[in-house]
């Protein structure tokens, strides 16, 4: 009896290369619901909330009381310019992908040569992390370039995850392609809040010293503007100063707060018959208390990607096209480079080698 159809049919996706990474299905990633955009709506409301009071204060104080149209136009232009800049960088953060790790030709079923080599080395166990920090993400089943991290909320890896998964910018991560825009957004908000506080502060003092020259409601608007501007400039300004420090030292938030990321960058540990406890490279859960202290102390001095504050800023905010400065000032844009490879600190390898020797010596003494 001849069968025209098999009993069991296995429908498997065909790939031109059997070693090419399996792409993550878009349907398996977390779906964004409407409530994921609620914090973004609140962020927009916070930016727009002072504007009704600003118009009241500027009209009643600078036009009617002080009779100064020049100050009115100047303050109004500066406030709305900073608001426009804040919205321009916010749009970039919301609309732009923070940094796709998956190559663009992955959808056609062809993986690039780097991804194929990384998978082969991962399967054969010959991956040397001391010279190449590109790894393998078990969740994405794909290569993970250096400084890339997997975001559980996005369900994907992000190139150079500079900060965190931020709910205020549309429930997205801050990555290689949105890091300058995020700092631009923080800068515009800080300047806007500080400017509003500086404008409303003297007006509030004038209202208290000259109570009969204006109505009763305008001082309330002044007090609201001064309080909101002071609080927002202090809170967001502190966050901005922290990110300025990170850019100046060429660190991401994860790299600055996670000292044990240095372990994957260590060179091969010196061979020793007395030391059999640590893996090569060692894992965090294998370290003793003294070894953890060594890693944390070394983390304060070892900055893998710090190549000088000027070059660090050029790496994030530099441009190569004409009118690049105007583009940076307008919306921040994205960082230079492909987000997969970065120049290393020339002193980092020596300090990492010293750290590996000290970890081995402590392991012998235990």
Q: Is the pLDDT of residue 16 over 80?
A: no
Using DSSP's 3-state secondary structure scheme, residue 144 falls into strand
Angstrom distance (rounded) from CA 11 to CA 362: 54
Q: If you average pLDDT over every residue of the chain, what do you get?
A: 82
Angstrom distance (rounded) from CA 27 to CA 155: 10
Q: What is the pLDDT of residue 204?
A: 93
Q: What is the pLDDT of residue 112?
A: 37
Q: Which helix (H) or strand (E) holds 158?
A: strand 156-158
Q: Percent of the chain at pLDDT above 90? A: 48
> Taking the model in full, what pTM does it have?
0.82
- Which tops the pLDDT comparison, 90 or 129? 90
Token pair for residue 126?
């010959």
pLDDT band at 125 (very low <50, low <70, confident <90, very high): very low
> Shortest CA distance to 281 belongs to which of 294, 261, 291, 267?
267
Neighbour count for residue 13 (Cβ, 10 Å): 8
Angstrom distance (rounded) from CA 276 to CA 25: 42
> Shortest CA distance to 331 belongs to which of 178, 191, 190, 229?
178
For tokens 């089943």, the residue is: 141
Q: What is the pLDDT of residues 45-60, one digit of tens each?
A: 999 999 999 999 999 9
Angstrom distance (rounded) from CA 152 to CA 160: 15
User: CA 348 from chain center: how many Å?
Assistant: 23
pLDDT band at 272 (very low <50, low <70, confident <90, very high): low
Neighbour count for residue 170 (Cβ, 10 Å): 18
Beta-bridge partners for 172: 166
Active-site residue, from 140, 154, 157, 166: 166
Is 41 among the catalytic positions? no
For tokens 């109505």, the residue is: 215
Q: What is the pLDDT of residue 142?
A: 79
């Amino acid at each position: 009896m001849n069968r025209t159809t098999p009993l069991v049919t296995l429908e498997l996706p065909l790939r031109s290369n059997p070693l090419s990474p399996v792409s993550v299905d878009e349907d398996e990633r977390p779906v964004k619901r409407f409530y994921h955009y609620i914090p973004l709506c609140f962020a927009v409301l916070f930016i727009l909330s002072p504007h009704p009071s600003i118009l009241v204060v500027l009209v009643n104080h600078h036009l009617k009381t002080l009779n100064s149209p020049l100050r009115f136009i100047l303050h109004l232009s500066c406030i709305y310019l900073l608001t426009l800049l804040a919205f321009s960088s916010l749009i970039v953060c919301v609309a732009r992908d923070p940094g796709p790790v998956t190559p663009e030709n992955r959808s056609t079923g062809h993986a690039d040569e780097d991804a194929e080599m990384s998978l082969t080395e991962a399967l054969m166990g010959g991956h040397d992390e001391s010279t190449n920090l590109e790894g393998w993400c078990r969740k994405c089943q794909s290569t993970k370039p250096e400084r890339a991290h997997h975001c559980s909320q996005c369900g994907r890896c992000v190139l150079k995850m500079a900060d965190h998964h931020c709910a205020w910018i549309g429930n997205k991560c801050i990555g290689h392609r949105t890091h300058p825009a995020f700092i631009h957004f923080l800068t515009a908000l800080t300047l806007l809040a500080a400017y509003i506080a500086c404008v409303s502060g003297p007006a509030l003092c004038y209202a208290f010293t000259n109570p009969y020259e204006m109505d009763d409601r305008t001082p309330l608007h002044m007090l609201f503007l001064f309080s909101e501007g002071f609080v927002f400039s202090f809170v967001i300004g502190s966050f901005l100063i922290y990110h300025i420090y990170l850019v100046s030292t060429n660190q991401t938030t994860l790299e600055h707060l996670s000292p044990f990321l240095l372990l994957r960058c260590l060179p091969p540990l010196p061979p020793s018959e007395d030391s059999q406890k640590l893996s090569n490279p060692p894992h965090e859960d294998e370290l003793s208390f003294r070894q953890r202290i060594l890693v944390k102390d070394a983390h304060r001095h070892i900055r893998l990607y710090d190549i000088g504050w000027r070059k660090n800023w050029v790496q994030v905010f530099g441009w190569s096209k004409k009118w690049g400065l105007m583009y940076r000032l307008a919306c921040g844009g994205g960082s230079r480079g492909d987000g997969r490879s970065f120049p290393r600190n020339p002193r980092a390898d020596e300090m990492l080698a010293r750290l590996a020797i000290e970890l081995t010596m402590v392991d012998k003494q235990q």
